[in-house]
Structure 1
Amino acid sequence: MSSLKAKLNMERLPRHIAIIMDGNGRWAQEKGQDRLYGHFHGVESVRNIVEGCAELGIEYLTLYAFSTENWDRPAYEVNGLMELMIDTIRKEIDTLNRNNIKLHVIGDTNMLPENARKELNEALELSSQNTGLNLIVALSYSSRWELVEAVKKIAHDVKDGKVDPAAIDQDTLQSYLCTSDFPDPELMIRTSGEYRISNFLLYQLAYAELYFTNVRWPDFRKENLYEAILDFQSRERRFGKTSAQIQSELANG
């Protein structure tokens, strides 16, 4: 079977892909298994897609691993997820370094158990010199939490006289977000057939192309990634302009 990879326009790859990895629990239940069985198998998909992005030369990949709302799930599932995360980070750090992948984390990591924070900080430190794919894990993250935190910090700096309220613009707000060091995603993929953003990068996804697939996350592989990128490449990205304006700019560019 020929791969969709050959059809990709390597000159028009998105710099930044964001993924809502949905469907682990349902995938497991469809197989008559515990929800954690699905999360366990979802790790293989993470490995496969990270490798796929690194091979293509994608610069940034953000994975929505755990939202602040996920803390409300049953305790056994949350605890199991934390143990799985710690175990995965420990096992994968050598692979990250071997593939020159730099790990980043966004979210309220203070909510994580101490041993999880320790493993995470170690992995961040050990991969900090890598210069290839930037793998951004959204952990204990929600966009509304992020925006509230940013507003609090801006208000604090205004109070201290560091920021002039009249000078606050989009760039000011962007610089206070968790993602201030990264470009906005151009492509957002959500698996498992749900058509919503679920409090994920609400500000950053303003002009992203959204791609939804029925494939459950544990079944999502490189071919599915290529399919999403091909769909992205077939779209005209207008950023509020007309199609005629875009065509004219391309002709004159």
Structure 2
Amino acid sequence: MDDDGLLYRVYERRLTKELDAFDLPQHLGVIVDGNRRWAKEAGESTEHGHRAGAAKILEFLSWCDDLDIPLVTVWMLSTDNLRRPPEELVSLYEIIDTTIGQIIDAGYCVRLTGSAQALPEEMRTGIARAQEQASVESSLTVNVAIGYGGREEIVEAVQELVRDLAAEGLDGEQIAGEITVDTIAQHLYTRGQPDPDLIIRTSGEQRLSGFLLWQSVHSEYWFCETYWPGFRRVDLLRALRNFCRRERRYGA
């Protein structure tokens, strides 16, 4: 190992030890952005960038598991992404399908977060089959956000809630009275889970783009310039240290 590599390992160990004194996030969200730009700068194809990004997801999850972070939501494909060229989407679907299988093979509990109806039927069938084989008892649960959009999630939650209330025989005024923050939350994709404590976005973009809009009302954010395939464990540790040093007042 050269001197730079040794210094990196020493710094990484120091950051890890520093985090021992803090409570880490119980739910970590990550927007894995910058695969295509990373590939372009490396003189590689878009598909190569997506495959490198997918491999990084598996690595990232192993870091979270090592740190005892129990819940991670990874945004792999947004509803906006569905407007990309067909040839890119075909490749993306295959990469995502393979990655979900690898996450399951790693022993993590997988939960689909998003609208399966937005995906090709073959992919929906493959994901459903894979989820049947997934572990339900794992130290790490992974929400795989595919075909996901924050506005769409809220609309679907309200629609589902209204249908449920109408099925109980309630009239319009009664239904309106039953629509609350709590009842909507009970119909989100993440129902039964804590809201994200920290959301990380790579590639230098400083916006949510619709990621977990409802759930992120009290989330902390950490943006970094690094493209997702180049994201390192030390980058995660820095994000966590930054999070741990913040005072979360929740508006009080």
Separation (CA, whole Å) in 2 of partners of 1:160 and 1:129? 31
Contact 1:9 1:233 in 2 (8 A): no
TM-score with structure 1 setting the length: 0.89
2:230 aligned to 219, 238, 246, which one? 219
Q: Which residue of 1 aligns with 2:37?
A: 26
Quote the offset at 1:91 in angstroms. 4.0
Separation (CA, whole Å) in 1 of partners of 2:103 and 2:181? 37
Relative to structure 1, the CA distance from residue 158 to residue 90 in structure 2 (aligned partners, 3 Å threshold; closer, same or farther) is: closer
Matches within 5 A, 1:151-190: 151-161=158-168, 164=174, 165-190=176-201
Q: Which residue of 2 aligns with 1:230?
A: 241
Contact 1:143 1:199 in 2 (8 A): yes
| Segment of structure 1 superposing worse, 51-60 or 165-174 | 165-174
> What are structure 1's unaligned runs of at least 5 residues?
242-253
> What are structure 2's unaligned runs of at least 5 residues?
1-6
Relative to structure 1, the CA distance from residue 181 to residue 75 in structure 2 (aligned partners, 3 Å threshold; closer, same or farther) is: same
Quote the offset at 1:202 in angstroms. 0.4
Secondary structure of the corresponding residue to residue 210 of structure 2: coil
Separation (CA, whole Å) in 1 of partners of 2:204 and 2:222? 10
Separation (CA, whole Å) in 2 of partners of 1:131 and 1:91? 15
Q: Which residue of 2 aligns with 1:105?
A: 112
Quote the offset at 1:43 in angstroms. 1.6
Q: Which residue of 2 aligns with 1:247?
A: none
Q: Which residue of 1 aligns with 2:66?
A: 55
Contact 2:65 2:139 in 1 (8 A): yes
Matches within 5 A, 1:139-158: 139-158=146-165
Q: Which residue of 2 aligns with 1:41?
A: 52
| Segment of structure 1 superposing worse, 21-30 or 80-89 | 80-89
Quote the offset at 1:169 in angstroms. 2.0
Secondary structure of the corresponding residue to residue 95 of structure 2: helix
Separation (CA, whole Å) in 1 of partners of 2:209 and 2:131? 26
Contact 2:36 2:49 in 1 (8 A): yes
Contact 1:89 1:119 in 2 (8 A): no
Q: Which residue of 1 aligns with 2:214?
A: 203
Separation (CA, whole Å) in 2 of partners of 1:63 and 1:10? 26
CA deviation string 1:183-210 (max 9, x = no partner):
1000000000001000110010000001
Relative to structure 1, the CA distance from residue 92 to residue 186 in structure 2 (aligned partners, 3 Å threshold; closer, same or farther) is: closer
- Which amino acid counterpart does residue 158 of structure 2 have in structure 1? V
Relative to structure 1, the CA distance from residue 22 to residue 180 in structure 2 (aligned partners, 3 Å threshold; closer, same or farther) is: same
| Segment of structure 1 superposing worse, 57-66 or 30-39 | 30-39
CA deviation string 1:126-160 (max 9, x = no partner):
12422310111101000111111111122223323
Asked if 1:120 is matched to 2:127, the reply is yes
Contact 1:13 1:233 in 2 (8 A): yes
Quote the offset at 1:24 in angstroms. 0.2
Contact 2:103 2:110 in 1 (8 A): no
TM-score with structure 2 setting the length: 0.89
CA deviation string 1:178-233 (max 9, x = no partner):
11121100000000000100011001000000110001000112211111000000
- Which amino acid counterpart does residue 126 of structure 1 have in structure 2? Q
| Segment of structure 1 superposing worse, 225-234 or 147-156 | 147-156
Separation (CA, whole Å) in 2 of partners of 1:186 and 1:55? 18
Relative to structure 1, the CA distance from residue 10 to residue 123 in structure 2 (aligned partners, 3 Å threshold; closer, same or farther) is: farther
